[in-house]
Structure 1
Amino acid sequence: MNRRAIVAGAALAVVVALVALVFRGTADSGTTSASASGSRYTVRLSVDDPRTGPNSLGFEVTDKAGTPVAPDEVTVEPVMPVMGHALAPVTANPEGQGRFRAPTADLPMAGPWQITVSLRDASGVDQVVLPLLVKG
């Protein structure tokens, strides 16, 4: 194994450890939440006790002013970049003004995931990426 591969592996291990440390507090409390903004929307993710297997992912969508909005379509695509996993997108169901739920997001491995939320309306698509730490 060459030196470059060893350094890259060590750097990856440090990043994974830091992500796990940052999310340990919220993941152990039962409900995990995260929020991020795209070019037009802000999305707040809420998951009760994220674990391997099926998870129900809740989303609150607002415009830049903080007003709840309902795009025409919301899809959710879980990705685990550290392992090179990308799962098929799941359509989130509307639950009320600005609230959506993806009831059957299957997360097969523990560790740090990125949840890409695509919000489609007449103006196009906005994407927001949210972190999620899944326990085993």
Structure 2
Amino acid sequence: MKYAGVCLLVAGVLFAVVSRWLGGGPESVQAAGTRYTVTVPVDPVEVRVTSGKAETVTLAAAMPGMGHALPPVGTVQAGHGRFVATENMFAMDGVWELSIILSGDQGEEMITISMLL
């Protein structure tokens, strides 16, 4: 029975990888916290604050399955509610967790999303 779960997990990851390779992967990931809502295009890394007014955005990426964690990266504002990473965020393809730390007039909040690259 435990092998069935592992097989389903592997099948899901393979489906996502093949879909992305063939151009069928998600173009962006959306997430909501209590103070802010964001949309993150998969490539390039940009945070679009769609609800709430963030003044600063910091990003931290981790690849838990591989034991990788990268130091936080700052962003620059590229328009109203748009923040672009100042450095390359991802060292390799795979499943990453992106922590988005937003700060503004509504306080500070961290929103974490999973992305397949």
State how 1:1-136 maps to structure 2 within 5 Å. Answer: 14-15=8-9, 17-22=11-16, 24-26=18-20, 28-29=22-23, 32-48=27-43, 56-63=44-51, 69-134=52-117
Residues 19-75 of structure 1: CA distance to partner in whole angstroms, max 9, x if unpaired?
453464356428731011111111101133xxxxxxx41111022xxxxx5412100
Contact 1:57-1:103 at 8 Å conserved across structures:
no
Looking at structure 2, the residues matched to 78 and 92 of structure 1 have their Cα atoms a distance apart, in angstroms, of 13
Where do 4+ consecutive residues of structure 1 move more than 6 Å? Answer: 7-10
Q: TM-score of the superposition, structure 1-length normalised?
A: 0.68
Could you list the runs of 5+ residues in structure 2 that have no partner in the other structure? none
Secondary structure of the structure 1 residue equivalent to 2:102: strand
Q: Percent identity?
A: 33
Distance 1:124 1:43 in 2: 15
TM-score, with structure 2 as normaliser = 0.77
Q: Any unmatched runs of 5+ in structure 1?
A: 1-6, 49-55, 64-68
Alpha carbons of structure 1 residues 130 and 33: separation in structure 2 relative to 1, 3 Å: same
Q: 2:9, 2:57 → 1: CA distance?
A: 30
Of Structure 1 and Structure 2, the greater strand share is in 1
> What secondary structure, in the 3-state scheme, does the structure 2 residue paired with 1:104 have?
coil
**Closer, same or farther in 2 for the Cα pair 1:118/1:58, shift >3 Å?**
same
Following superposition, the deviation at residue 133 of structure 1 comes to 1.4
Number of residue pairs the alignment of both structures matches:
116
Distance 1:28 1:39, change over 3 A: farther
Deviation track 1:70-127 (CA, whole Å, cap 9, x = no partner) reads 4121001011111121110101110111111114223122210011100012443211
